[in-house]
Amino acid sequence: MTEGRFPAPLRVGLLVNPVAGMGGAVGLKGTDGDSVLAEARARGAVPRAQARVRRALEELRPLADRILLLCGPGPMGEDLAREMGFSVQPLFPAPDRPTRGEDTARGAALLEDAGASLVLFAGGDGTARDVAETLETRIPAVGIPAGVKIHSAVFATDPASAGRLAVSFLEGKARQERELEVMDLDEEAYRQGRVSARLFGFLRVPYQRGRVQGLKSGTPASDRAQQAALAQGFLEIRDPKRLTLVGPGTTPRAVLDELGLEGTLLGVDALLEDRLLARDLNERDLLDLLDRHPRTLALVTPIGGQGFLFGRGNQQFSPAVLHRLGRRNILPVATPGKLQSLGGVLRLDTGDEEVDRMLSGPWRVLTGFREWAMVRAIL
């Protein structure tokens, strides 16, 4: 296929943060900064951005003969796009060092002059911030979720949805656009269990219901009493001799609060009887525990405002961990207010389609003291 085959190809920007998401499974909650990235690699972190982008680009293949991808160089999009058979134009020469956020910002700044009609970018909130810093709302953009921190509203619900949304936009079917929020999180505070976020800016995003995620929201004060009642309800039915993995979020942590234990708000902790066996566990830790405690129960809550049961904010529960756990050893918990705000559905984006299918369908969710709700998880 050649660029000259069509006189006016659809010019689509593609910017990939190649190290996005590496910190999630190993419990680092991000990869901002060279030292953190080095630590992630030392812990055995595996890049996942390329696989996420590949899934998005598969949706664009029917339009491949009409598209020219304006790519970040090398691992920032060019290599994968060429491998998949797309026509490619690198935006600038590849740097002779590991890529950084400034390279994403540089690529975004060049896209307007290059005539891009749409920008696809892959990463997390940090990547969205780098794009928004220079692009602002001048060109429509869609985020492919590939990072650890994905609180911003500019991301698709999953990589395939990002690709489908791009196709709909390029074919003129996604006519609605919205200026959606890009959040700036303090990653060091995030690693220490504190969510310090501010509104950084906006991106203009093609919008189709069900294909764009919402803005991550916190727990309102009105839900605190319900969380305490929910925690008491869990403690009434649990088997103390069964290891419980307490997932991230204020709702699971309420269980530890009831026991007078200090857990990690954004990590995964292990509870056995009335004591913390371990805190802030990563994927490898969880797999080791599952080897020793095959009857382990995972207590998890969907992320507020977005509804993801897995795939946002709890990547320590990797596909390997979830496969080992099995569906019957997972207990979702959420207050009625949270479920109502989510429209009564849960979402899944583990990065493994087989695991997503295993976890899809109806769930019995603990919502209070001896109170339950049936909620469906959708792909």
Domain hosting residue 7, numbered range: 3-206
The reply to whether 124 and 202 lie within a common domain is yes
The reply to whether 354 and 262 lie within a common domain is yes
The answer to whether the CB of 221 falls within 8 A of the CB of 248 is no
HEC-encoded secondary structure of 290-344: HHHCCCCEEEECCCCCCCEEECCCCCCCCHHHHHHHCHHHEEEECCHHHHHHCCC
The reply to whether 279 and 172 lie within a common domain is no
Q: Is residue 215 part of a domain?
A: no
Last residue of some domain: 161, 176, 206? Answer: 206
Mean pLDDT of 340-368: 94
The reply to whether 46 and 188 lie within a common domain is yes
Answer whether residue 45 shows pLDDT above 60: yes
Share of the chain above pLDDT 70, in %: 88
The reply to whether 23 and 133 lie within a common domain is yes
Q: Is residue 329 part of a domain?
A: yes
What angle, 0 to 180 degrees and rounded to 10, lies between the N-to-C axes of helices 159-170 and 49-60? 30
| Cα angle 119, 145, 165; round to 5 | 50
Q: Cα–Cα distance between 228 and 254 in angstroms, integer? A: 6
pLDDT tens readout for residues 98-141: 888 899 999 999 998 999 999 999 999 999 999 999 999 999 99
Tally of domains in the chain:
2
- Looking at this protein, which amino acid is placed at residue 59? E
Query: Which pLDDT score, from 0 to 100, does residue 265 have?
Result: 87
Q: Is residue 82 part of a domain?
A: yes
Query: Which pLDDT score, from 0 to 100, does residue 195 have?
Result: 65
Q: Is residue 295 part of a domain?
A: yes
Query: Which pLDDT score, from 0 to 100, does residue 6 have?
Result: 43
Mean pLDDT of 157-177: 94
pLDDT tens readout for residues 80-107: 999 999 999 999 998 888 888 899 999 9
Q: Is residue 213 part of a domain?
A: no
Query: Which pLDDT score, from 0 to 100, does residue 40 have?
Result: 57
Task: Look over the chain and give the mean of its residue pLDDT values, rounded to a whole number.
Answer: 89
Q: Is residue 11 part of a domain?
A: yes
pLDDT-derived band at 322 (thresholds 50, 70, 90) equals very high
In total, the chain counts a number of residues equal to: 379
Q: Is residue 135 part of a domain?
A: yes
- Looking at this protein, which amino acid is placed at residue 198? R
Query: Which pLDDT score, from 0 to 100, does residue 237 have?
Result: 96
Q: Is residue 16 part of a domain?
A: yes
Q: What's the CATH code of the domain at 127? A: 3.40.50.10330
